[in-house]
Structure 1
């Protein structure tokens, strides 16, 4: 019985460390994509289902408000999943020749988690949108 109690205690002690390591991996992936630039939580729409039946094919749409002109445009959109084995899901490069800053794709998600999307503008500003999703069947193998 003592062995079971010890194993249970060790697994509970490892849980916060694993969660902390995961948050550090997400933060590192975000820093790698955009640096340490402050982010604005406005100016973007993120559309994902509240519940994804199949984590292997989750539809995602990102629409960034504003013009897409030579003087003011979005240069990149980055997608991160906070509980996937690899947090960086996708990066899209955009040009001012697009009519609007919008991407649509399908992503893979391992489990219930938060999606973080960052849009980088040509003048260095970074906008952020987030969404919480429930995943019925995971789509990633770790």
Structure 2
């Protein structure tokens, strides 16, 4: 193996605040690469960079498109982000954020004072009971990014 100067996936999983959230971050990664119906199309966003160095996240893209559809990120106090796209899906993202807030019984905006980025949906993994709750949202984000 070559010299790897970027941070490992495990580094990002470990940034989550609770053991449950750390486990969930791993499960999301596992789901995207090994269980989702589109698993053969998912690749690491950072593999496309010239030097392959992860900056502040693990980003997931489809081999069919060049846009990230999901990210496990150290920014925004460590969270999971679904990228639906600003141009086409800004309203859909707002609706999805509301749905997720209701599902989890918490408002994301109250946990993060940074303005929400249009076309993105934020999930605090600490609030998620299990991955089954958020799989439909992950799948929808993947489908919307291909449009």
User: TM-score, structure 2 length as denominator?
Assistant: 0.27
Whichever of the two has the greater Rg, that structure is: 1
More helix by share: 2
Higher relative contact order (CA 8 A, sep 6+): 1
More strand by share: 1
User: TM-score, structure 1 length as denominator?
Assistant: 0.28
